Structure 1
Amino acid sequence: MVQKYKNIAIIGGGPAGLFAAEYLAGAGYAVHVYDHKPTLARKFLMAGRGGLNLTHSEDLESFIARYGTAADWVGPMVRAFTPSDLRAWCEGLGQETFVGSSGRVFPRSFKASPLLRAWQARLDDLGVTVHFNHHWAGWNDAGALIFTDKNGASVIAHADAALLALGGASWPKLGSDAGWVDILRNRGVGITPFRSANSGFTHLWSDHFADRFAGQPLKSITLTHNARRVPGEMMIAAKSHERGVEGGVIYALSASIRDAVERDGQTTVHIDLRPGIALEDLARRLSAQRGRASFSTHMKKAGGLSPLAAALLRELGGDEVSTLSPIMLATLIKALPLTLSAPFGLARAISSAGGVARNAVNDDLMLNVVPGVFVAGEMLDWEAPTGGYLLQATFATARHAARGIEKILKGSD
Structure 2
Amino acid sequence: MDALVIGAGPAGLMAAETLAEAGRHVVITEAMPTPARKFLMAGKSGLNLTKDEPFPDFIRRFSGGAREALGYWDTEEPDFGPNEVRDWAQGLGIELFTGSTGRVFPVGMKASPLLRLWLARLREAGVELRTRWKWIGLENGFHFSTFEGKRTLAPSVTVLALGGASWPRLGSDASWTPMLEASGVDLARFQPANMGLQVHWSAAMQRHFGSAVKGVAIHAGPQIARGEWVITSTGIEGGGVYEIAAQIRNGMEAKVDLFPDLDQTAVEQRFGKPKGKLSIGNWLRRVLGEPVKTAILLEWGQPWPVKASDWAKLARALPLRHDGTMGLDHAISAAGGITGSAMAPDLQLRALPGVFVAGEMLDWEAPTGGYLITGCLATGRRAGLAAALYHDKTG
TM-score, normalisation: structure 1? 0.90
**1:314 paired residue among 276, 295, 298:** 298
Q: 5 Å matches for 1:187-206?
A: 187-206=183-202
- How far off its partner does 1:308 sit? 1.4
Aligned positions of 1:65-144 closer than 5 A: 65-69=60-64, 70-74=66-70, 76=72, 79-140=78-139, 143-144=140-141
For residues 41 and 192 of structure 1, what CA distance do their matches in structure 2 show?
A: 24
In 2, Cα distance between the equivalents of 1:225 and 1:130?
44
| C-alpha displacement of 1:255 | 1.5
2:343 aligned to 361, 364, 368, which one? 361
Residue 246 of structure 1 is matched in structure 2 by 237
Conserved in 2, the CA contact under 8 Å of 1:296 and 1:307? no
The residue type paired with residue 365 of structure 1 is L
In structure 2, what is the Cα distance between the partners aligned to 1:227 and 1:165?
Answer: 32
- 2:208 corresponds in structure 1 to 213
Q: Secondary structure at the match of 2:224?
A: strand
Contact 1:273 1:305 in 2 (8 A): no
How far residue 246 of structure 1 moved from its aligned partner, in angstroms, is 2.4
The 5 A counterparts of 1:17-36 are: 17-36=12-31
Shift of 1:12: 0.3
Aligned residue runs from structure 1 range 135-174, under 5 A: 135-140=134-139, 143-151=140-148, 153-174=149-170
Matched, 1:175 2:175: no
Whichever residue aligns with residue 283 of structure 1, its letter is E
Amino acid corresponding to residue 368 of structure 1 in structure 2? R
Q: What's the counterpart of residue 263 of structure 1?
A: none
Q: Does 1:403 align with 2:385?
A: yes
- Residues 52, 110 of structure 1: 8 Å contact kept: yes
**Unmatched runs of 5 consecutive residues or more in structure 1:** 1-5, 261-266
Match of 1:51 in 2: 46
Deviation string 1:210-262 (CA, Å, 9 cap, x unpaired) is: x22223221110111114322222222323xxxx32222221111211111xx
Q: 2:262 aligns with which of 264, 267, 277?
A: 277
Q: Which runs of 5+ in 2 are unaligned?
A: none
CA contact (8 A) 2:92 2:117 kept: yes
Deviates more, 1:178-187 or 1:282-291: 282-291
Shift of 1:286: 2.4
Query: Deviation at 1:165?
Result: 0.4
The aligned counterpart of 2:5 is: 10
Q: CA offsets per residue over residues 302-324 of structure 1, 9 Å max, x none?
A: x2341111111111123x53x72
| CA–CA distance in structure 1, aligned partners of residues 7 and 68 of structure 2 | 26
Cα distance between partner residues in 1 of 2:295 and 2:247: 27
- For 2:348 and 2:207, the matched residues in 1 are separated by 52
* Matched positions, count: 391
RMSD: 1.7
Give the distance between the partners of 2:335 and 2:317, measured in 1 at CA. Answer: 29
Partner of 2:221: 226
Query: How far did 1:329 drift?
Result: 1.4
TM-superposed CA distance for 1:325, in Å, is: 2.3
Q: Percent identity?
A: 41
Go from structure 1 to structure 2 and tell me whether the alpha carbon gap of 1:380 and 1:327 turns closer, same or farther (over 3 Å shift).
same
CA distance in 2, matches of 1:75, 1:236: 38
Q: 2:213 & 2:282 partners in 1: Cα distance?
A: 17
Q: Is residue 2:258 matched to residue 1:259?
A: no
Are residue 375 (structure 1) and residue 357 (structure 2) matched? Answer: yes
Indicate conservation of the 8 Å contact 1:268/1:340, yes or no.
no
Aligned pair in 2 of structure 1 residues 26, 72: CA closer, same or farther (>3 Å)?
closer
* Pairs within 5 Å for 1:291-310: 291=276, 293-301=278-286, 303-310=287-294
**Distance in 1, Cα, partners of 2:170 & 2:130:** 17
Which gives a bigger RCO, structure 1 or 2 (Cα 8 Å, sep 6+)? 2
- Contact kept, 8 Å, 2:300 with 2:321, in 1: the verdict is no
1:349 aligns with 2:349: no
